[in-house]
Chains A and B, each alone.
Chain A
Amino acid sequence: MAMIELKKLVKSYGRTDIIHGIDLEIKDGEFVVFVGPSGCGKSTTLRMIAGLEEVSGGEICIGGTLVNDMDPKERNIAMVFQNYAIYPHMSVRQNIAFGLYTAKMSRQDKDKRVSEAAETLGLTQYLDRRPAALSGGQRQRVAIGRAMVRSPSAFLFDEPLSNLDAQLRAQMRIEIKALHQRLGTTIVYVTHDQVEAMTMADRIVVMNGGHILQAGAPMDLYENPVDVFTARFIGSPSMNIVQGREGADGITSDPGGNLKLGIRPQDLLVNQPVPDPVLTLSGPVTVVEPLGHETLVHFQAAGQTVIGTAPGGQAPAVGSQVTAALPRGRLYTFDATSEKSLGRK
């Protein structure tokens, strides 16, 4: 177990900088999730921590030791890949045992470790199978098993669940989280799925274009995003952004205004009484998405499509006029040009 520090970390390919000097301190035992759009440098950062990619500038320390020039094997980290990358020509048992390749321990001890890991992951009955005879979820578990047996100082996951179907993903999410709670090992986890980030992380690191935009606890990011990008990235469906203005009569939507107003669809209540709303929007309904416990209502307002929420059984008809209101305290405001947060109203 160890803390991981990134100091002014830079990665460039030729003359192009991909990572622009990021600073981050990951505490011992912390579960940190990197999120960001495709190509923002999440994998590159993770691979530099793993030692698979050379560092172009700055420092990486694991457990207080500078590891910039160390081989992956000297860093005692374990990594789980998006494609699982379990060796197809070996049985499940051999695959898991490969995690102990360099471990100096007796045959029996290794066997014991492998059996324990298999037990934990529910793989005991598949130990003698080849990967080809396993389902996607089982293969991913083998990959986790190979990472687990070693008791590494940190686990690195690069989008480990993105090849699984929605149901299995939800299940594996819980399993990985449970694993973290049991082992208490530092985890750095990369995903572009914000639901994974919200549900699993102790701390989320939002990246864009090779920069860290914000790092914080999931609810903190949800409630206090520093800018429009983070605000839209965290939360599903994405926050509505409407151009607006603050005047004597309060905040109103205005295409020429100097504010960007952020409205979470969950906060924007359609056809429901809201005492003293901070903002109301109305317009014709274009799309209705019933989710069961609530209904997402897409309607035209302020010259764009806005998403609001209606209670489960009350879907308004497409084409009908609706009025949606936002309770006070639930309006996120941003500067229209810099897109930086100006706090909630």
Chain B
Amino acid sequence: MTSPPKAPTPPFASLPFARVRPGKIITWTLLFIGGVMMVTPLLFMFSTSLKTSGQIYDLRLIPADPTIQNYVTVLADGRFLKWFMNSMLIATVVTLSNLFFDSLVGYTLAKFEFRGRKLIFIAILSTLMIPTEMLVIPWYLMSANLGWLDSYWGIMFPGMMTAFGTFLMKQFFEGVPNDFLEAARIDGLNEFEIWWKIAMPLVTPALSALAIFTFLGNWTAFFWPLIVTTSPELYTLPIGLTSFAVEQSIQWEMIMTGAALATIPTLVIFLALQRYIVRGVMLAGLKG
């Protein structure tokens, strides 16, 4: 028997770049361009927040004469802190509400057999196809009738539960093996405890993702809070920052300072939760 001929060693095979395939180069290039495009506005925001009003049209990335005066001004202005806290309160409450109710409904749809289950699911899903712009008028009329205009509850109520979150949680709960739930049933937990103590911990990746989406969505929400609020004390941060902009002349450096401060909670949330978005935790309790 003859051994098959060896492929000739390609030239320069020992050089590191020789092993990089062209596909990789294209991928990296695209990713690099994408990365630069996403990071640049953030850098400019930060850079502008360190400039004085005279320098803002000087487009150098590193300010000639960086100052933290803007931050002092913004933080000393009570309104900014108020709006920040408003946004914080609203985003937190809405997020917790979604985590609780979306997963409660999602779990029920995923794990219980009952008449009309499919219909309810389809009804929930179909609301995903209605754009917010179409809902704003009914929301407004409803809030007006119920006296919810210009209140925290008025800002929060449309988002307390979302079809998307319910759908997401349902899909994840379907992946939770019934054996866990049955084992818990035999261990004597009631159905609510099974959901809370067994099923919920098994879908932490989904809960983390939902928390991040919901928090970010509400933190940056603009359209509905703008419509439903009239008193400046109830403004959320995005509305507040805009009102900054139009007060006298547009104060870009102040807006950028506010925006820079506004990114902090989103960063914190993301960094705190992203490590839970690891798949595969669930399988560990099942067979070897």
Give the B-binding residues of A (Cβ under 8 A).
Answer: 50-52, 71-73, 77-79, 81-89, 98-99, 101-102, 130-132, 135-137, 139, 146, 163-164
Contacts and interface: CB of A to CB of B under 8 A. Distances in A.
Contacts of A87: 180, 183-184, 198, 201, 285
A304 B65 CA distance: 97
10 contacts: A50-B186, A52-B186, A72-B182, A73-B186, A86-B183, A87-B285, A88-B283, A88-B286, A101-B188, A101-B189
Contacts of B288: 135-137, 139, 163-164
7 tightest CB-CB pairs across the interface, nearest first? A136-B288, A132-B284, A102-B188, A88-B285, A73-B188, A85-B179, A88-B284
B187 A73 contact: yes
Nearest to B285: A88
Interface residues of B, number: 23
Contacts of A102: 187-188
A98 to B, nearest CB: 5
Contacts of A85: 177, 179-180, 182-183, 285-286
Given A83-B177, A85-B179, A87-B180, A130 B185 contact: no
Contacts of A98: 184, 187
Contacts of B272: none
B212 interface: no
Nearest to B283: A88
Nearest to A95: B285
Given A73-B188, A135-B288, A163-B288, A88 B183 contact: no
A81 B281 CA distance: 19
A73 B186 CA distance: 5
B287 interface: yes
A269 B188 CA distance: 55
B183 A79 contact: yes
B90 interface: no
A82 B21 CA distance: 46
Contact of A89 (B188, B189, B202): B202
Contacts of B287: 82-84, 136, 139, 163
B183 A81 contact: yes
B96 to A, nearest CB: 20
A130 B285 CA distance: 9
A52 B185 CA distance: 8
Q: Kindly name the residue among A88, A102, A139 whose own CB sees the greatest number of chain B CB atoms within 10 A.
A: A88
Contacts of B201: 87, 89
Contacts of B185: 51-52, 71-73
Contacts of B286: 83-85, 88
B285 A86 contact: yes
A37 B288 CA distance: 24
A89 B176 CA distance: 13
A164 B288 CA distance: 8
B93 interface: no
A338 B151 CA distance: 81
B9 to A, nearest CB: 43
B282 interface: yes
A131 B189 CA distance: 21
A73 B191 CA distance: 12
Nearest to B189: A101
Contacts of B202: 88-89
A188 to B, nearest CB: 14
A131 B285 contact: yes
Q: Kindly name the residue among B180, B202, B281, B288 whose own CB sees the greatest number of chain A CB atoms within 10 A.
A: B288
Contacts of A164: 288
B61 to A, nearest CB: 46
Nearest to A163: B287
A71 B202 CA distance: 24
Nearest to B180: A85
Contacts of B283: 88
Contacts of A77: 186
Interface string B270-288: 0000000000011111111
Contacts of A81: 179, 182-183
B179 A131 contact: no
B205 to A, nearest CB: 12
Interface in B159-205: 177, 179-180, 182-189, 198, 201-202, 204
Given A89-B281, A99-B187, A102-B188, 14 more contacts: A51-B185, A52-B186, A73-B185, A79-B183, A83-B286, A84-B286, A84-B287, A87-B285, A88-B281, A89-B202, A98-B184, A132-B284, A146-B183, A146-B187
